[in-house]
């Protein structure tokens, strides 16, 4: 199939709209017509050149939704015409990770996916005679893409694809961080650092879990109104205080919060989030992805005195099983999705979408 795709030819340059050739799916692969895609900070992170796994030229994008166009040999879970969301964390159901209820990190195709290739070690994209790499096993910045059959979730046909594409990463990640990873309890106090899409989804998860106090922290005060819509009870900026933000939070909450979430990818903020937790039982979850080579630090005494430091990927959801359920929760109005969408642009304005994200709009 020949179609349009936004190709990242090299790091640090805008995406270029090109005609690409998308090969048919091989055994255990699915070719999808992408109807809608969102942009995420992870796409920008790889595009910037800071991602150690970044390879170029590449078709980025990992928050998409579409319709199955064709399937390769041996594919049984989906058929042409099915409505689907591609998954950057697959679920094969067979590896020891999939069989363990404690994790969602399926490892079946991790090595090839990290190299920008399909499980057989090759690419399905060609542009101007050159092989183009895949990204996160999804490459949703293309009108057609090919994914492994374990990297696709079949969802209800009536779901609006320009909304549920967000369940492919950001919303699911933040919501799951609260309800799966932290297991926020009713009546608890939470602090959420970073009020972008993921942070808002964490706030939503904390609220659904019954938290009684949810403190949003961000330097950009334009984000406070939206955070309160999602359930934040108050919002503060570290710039408004003379002392470190963790000390402010400990004072505000009589000893610290029960749960904190870092949704930025800043190692200094990760430390503050841990140290804002209550002695004896506080849990801090790292959701943001820090740049390559960075390290976190705190005094070991913080952990000795009963705080827990955790991390989460895709909110702990087992992807193939959970994404259809998340779509159903959205369709039955249990979780918000529409409210996360600030702008809707045509595909050829994709670079403008990145600009809007970088400016916090």
Strand order in the sheet with 83-86: 144-148, 29-38, 63-71, 83-86, 152-154
CB atoms within 10 A of CB 343: 11
Strands 29-38 and 189-193 come out as unpaired
Q: Could you tell me if 278 and 258 are in contact, meaning their C-beta atoms sit under 8 angstroms apart?
A: yes
Q: Could you tell me if 169 and 201 are in contact, meaning their C-beta atoms sit under 8 angstroms apart?
A: no
What is the pLDDT at residue 291? 84
What is the pLDDT at residue 102? 97
Q: Could you tell me if 264 and 273 are in contact, meaning their C-beta atoms sit under 8 angstroms apart?
A: no
pLDDT at residue 11 is higher than 90: yes
Both tokens of residue 262? 């870092």
Contacts with 161 (C-beta within 8 Å, 6 or more apart), sequence order: 35, 36, 65, 66, 83
For 172, phi then psi, to 5°, come to: -60, -40
pLDDT at residue 107 is higher than 90: yes
Pure H helices in the chain:
41-48, 96-99, 110-114, 161-164, 170-176, 197-208, 224-230, 245-252, 267-275, 300-304, 319-331, 350-358
pLDDT higher at 130 or 359: 130
Domain architecture of the chain: domains with CATH: 2-168+318-359 (3.90.180.10), 174-313 (3.40.50.720)
For 216, phi then psi, to 5°, come to: -95, 140
Q: What percent of the chain has pLDDT over 70?
A: 100
Q: Could you tell me if 34 and 63 are in contact, meaning their C-beta atoms sit under 8 angstroms apart?
A: no
Mean pLDDT on 331-345: 96
Distance CA 295, CA 113 (A): 24
pLDDT at residue 52 is higher than 90: no
pTM: 0.96
Contacts with 121 (C-beta within 8 Å, 6 or more apart), sequence order: 112, 115
Distance CA 326, CA 204 (A): 13
């Amino acid at each position: 199939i020949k179609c349009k795709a936004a190709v990242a030819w090299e790091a640090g340059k805008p995406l270029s709209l090109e005609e690409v050739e998308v090969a048919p799916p091989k055994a255990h692969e699915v070719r999808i017509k992408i109807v809608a895609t969102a942009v995420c900070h992870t796409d920008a992170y790889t595009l910037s050149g800071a991602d150690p796994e970044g390879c170029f030229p590449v078709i980025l994008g990992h928050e998409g939704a579409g319709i199955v166009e064709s399937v390769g040999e041996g594919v049984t879970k989906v058929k042409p015409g099915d409505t689907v969301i591609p998954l950057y964390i697959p679920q094969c159901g067979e590896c020891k990770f999939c069989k363990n209820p404690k994790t969602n990190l399926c490892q079946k195709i991790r090595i090839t996916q990290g190299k920008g290739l399909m499980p057989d070690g090759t690419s399905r994209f060609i542009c101007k005679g050159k092989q183009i790499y895949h990204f996160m096993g999804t490459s949703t910045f293309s009108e057609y893409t090919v994914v492994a059959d374990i990297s696709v979730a079949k969802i209800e046909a009536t779901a609006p694809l320009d909304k549920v594409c967000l369940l492919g990463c950001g919303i699911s990640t933040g919501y799951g961080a609260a309800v799966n990873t932290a297991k926020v309890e009713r009546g608890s106090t939470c602090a959420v650092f970073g009020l972008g899409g993921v942070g808002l989804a964490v706030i939503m998860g904390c609220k659904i879990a019954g938290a009684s106090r949810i403190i949003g922290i961000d330097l950009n005060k334009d984000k406070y109104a939206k955070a309160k819509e999602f359930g934040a009870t108050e919002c503060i900026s570290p710039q408004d205080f003379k002392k470190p933000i963790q000390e402010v939070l400990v004072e505000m909450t009589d000893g610290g919060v029960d749960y904190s979430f870092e949704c930025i990818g800043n190692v200094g903020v990760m430390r503050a989030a841990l140290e804002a937790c209550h002695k004896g039982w506080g849990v801090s979850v790292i959701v943001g992805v820090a740049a390559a080579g960075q390290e976190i630090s705190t005094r070991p005494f913080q952990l000795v005195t009963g705080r827990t430091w955790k991390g989460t990927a895709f909110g702990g959801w087992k992807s193939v099983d959970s994404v259809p359920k998340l779509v159903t929760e959205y369709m039955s109005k249990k979780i918000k999705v529409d409210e996360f969408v600030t702008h809707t642009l045509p595909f050829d304005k994709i670079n403008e979408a990145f600009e809007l994200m970088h400016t916090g709009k």
